[in-house]
């Protein structure tokens, strides 16, 4: 099991190496122009999705800027079919001025979004509402930072839990290896989260979903905390999908008592115009709150850490560094706690909603 994990990690690293790692590119030819440090821009860049893993920029002795990054594949579905190329084709240009021509269509990248220029256009133009005047957006199904990180955590989950499951089946008695680490956590989730909330009788159907959600969120929270990692659970689209899963599982396993409580609540008839809309909206607001809670907690944590680090650059003094790094260490510890806690809360509330849906009328 340990060897398998080592193999998988090494093959991931080798895969990254194939993508022309440490691709050092000439960003612009201005010799060493010192620009103002914009902390908002830096923070937004770090918490948003991107088409490459961008680690740092450095200026070499001749004053030319280089960037150290790992490019990721760009896959676009245009009218001409599927167009694939590496994001290094854009040469780190993010303001829509560098045109990449593939298969007769011209693409530019503006703020990490890829646009397809209409015929005859040579650069991107926007109107006042920031709509592109001479370009359309193709369907972008690239492997971006978030997609790559999700695939990585997928591989991690499958490896760890596959190994744990095999070991549990083969060796009865005291668990050894990765199972010894995972089993207490899984039993805790089952005993303290799932059974009290979902109920003794029907909890077995929902164990796979709830445990998967817990570990998926937990691993992605942790991977996002690694410097240079992707902010997966801090992306509202990802948390939206997770809360939609909870919504679907809850409502498709709901019994008649649940729907009766929503549409025919046990109140006087005069209160129906108030109660029924509130109950119907309540069906949607509960997963909505799940989504916002996870997204905001994780993103806020990242923003705090990045802001504290950027204090060093705002004050332009090395003496701020010990204070700043001390605060950042404290915030990192808090963030580790928050990573675990948010996974726990998401799972707990999902179990609670499922339990409410399948509860028998008492």
Binding site for another protein (CB under 8 A): 192, 289, 292-293, 295-297, 300, 341-342, 345, 348
Between 115 and 295, whose beta carbon lies closer to another protein?
A: 295
Between 116 and 297, whose beta carbon lies closer to another protein?
A: 297
Nearest CA among 334, 239, 214 for reference residue 295? 239
Between 107 and 295, whose beta carbon lies closer to another protein?
A: 295
Q: Provide, rounded to whole angstroms, the least separation between the CB of residue 85 and another protein.
A: 33
Q: Provide, rounded to whole angstroms, the least separation between the CB of residue 341 and another protein.
A: 6
Between 276 and 292, whose beta carbon lies closer to another protein?
A: 292
Q: Provide, rounded to whole angstroms, the least separation between the CB of residue 44 and another protein.
A: 10
| Strand positions, DSSP E, the chain | 23-26, 52-59, 65-71, 73-78, 81-86, 100-102, 105-110, 113-117, 135-136, 139-140
Report helix, strand or coil for 337.
helix
Q: Provide, rounded to whole angstroms, the least separation between the CB of residue 16 and another protein.
A: 32
Between 121 and 292, whose beta carbon lies closer to another protein?
A: 292
Q: Provide, rounded to whole angstroms, the least separation between the CB of residue 296 and another protein.
A: 3
How would DSSP label each residue in 282-322? HHHHHHHHHHHHHHHHHHHHHHHHHHHHHHHHHHT-TTHHH
Between 152 and 298, whose beta carbon lies closer to another protein?
A: 298
Q: Look up residue 142 and give its two tokens.
A: 């690239």
Q: CA 43, CA 359: separation in Å to the nearest integer?
A: 45
Q: Provide, rounded to whole angstroms, the least separation between the CB of residue 4 and another protein.
A: 35
How would DSSP label each residue in 35-83? ----HHHHHHHHHS--SEEEEEEEE-TTS-EEEEEEE-EEEEEETTEEE
Instruction: Please say whether the beta carbons of 149 and 157 come within 8 A.
Output: no
């Amino acid at each position: 099991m340990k060897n398998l994990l080592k193999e998988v990690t090494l093959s991931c690293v080798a895969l990254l190496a194939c993508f022309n790692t440490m691709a050092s590119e000439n960003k612009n030819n201005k010799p060493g122009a010192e620009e103002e440090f914009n902390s908002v821009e830096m923070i937004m860049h770090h918490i948003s999705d991107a088409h490459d893993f961008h680690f740092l920029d450095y200026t070499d002795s001749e004053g030319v800027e280089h960037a150290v990054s790992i490019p990721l594949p760009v896959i676009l579905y245009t009218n001409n079919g599927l167009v694939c190329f590496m994001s290094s084709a854009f040469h780190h240009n993010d303001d829509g001025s560098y045109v990449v021509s593939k298969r007769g269509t011209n693409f530019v990248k503006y703020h990490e979004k890829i646009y397809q220029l209409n015929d005859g256009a040579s650069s991107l133009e926007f109107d006042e509402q920031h709509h592109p005047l001479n370009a359309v957006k193709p369907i972008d199904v690239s492997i971006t930072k978030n997609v790559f990180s999700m695939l990585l955590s997928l591989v991690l989950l499958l490896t760890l839990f596959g190994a744990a499951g095999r070991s549990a089946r083969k060796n009865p008695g005291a668990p050894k290896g990765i199972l010894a680490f995972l089993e207490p956590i899984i039993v805790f989730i089952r005993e303290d989260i799932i059974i009290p909330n979902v109920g003794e009788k029907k909890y077995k159907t929902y164990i796979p979903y709830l445990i998967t959600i817990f570990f998926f969120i937990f691993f992605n929270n942790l991977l996002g905390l690694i410097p240079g990692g992707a902010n997966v659970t801090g992306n509202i689209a990802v948390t939206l999908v997770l809360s939609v899963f909870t919504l679907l599982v809850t409502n498709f396993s709901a019994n008649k008592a649940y729907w009766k409580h929503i549409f025919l609540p046990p109140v006087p008839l005069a209160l129906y115009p108030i109660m029924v809309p509130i109950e119907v909206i309540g069906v949607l607001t509960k997963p909505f709150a799940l989504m916002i809670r996870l997204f905001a907690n994780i993103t806020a944590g990242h923003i705090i850490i990045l802001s504290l680090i950027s204090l060093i650059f705002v004050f332009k003094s090395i003496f701020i560094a010990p204070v700043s790094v001390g605060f950042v260490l404290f915030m990192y510890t808090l963030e580790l706690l928050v990573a675990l806690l948010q996974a726990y809360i998401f799972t707990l509330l999902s179990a609670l909603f499922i339990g409410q849906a399948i509860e028998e009328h008492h």
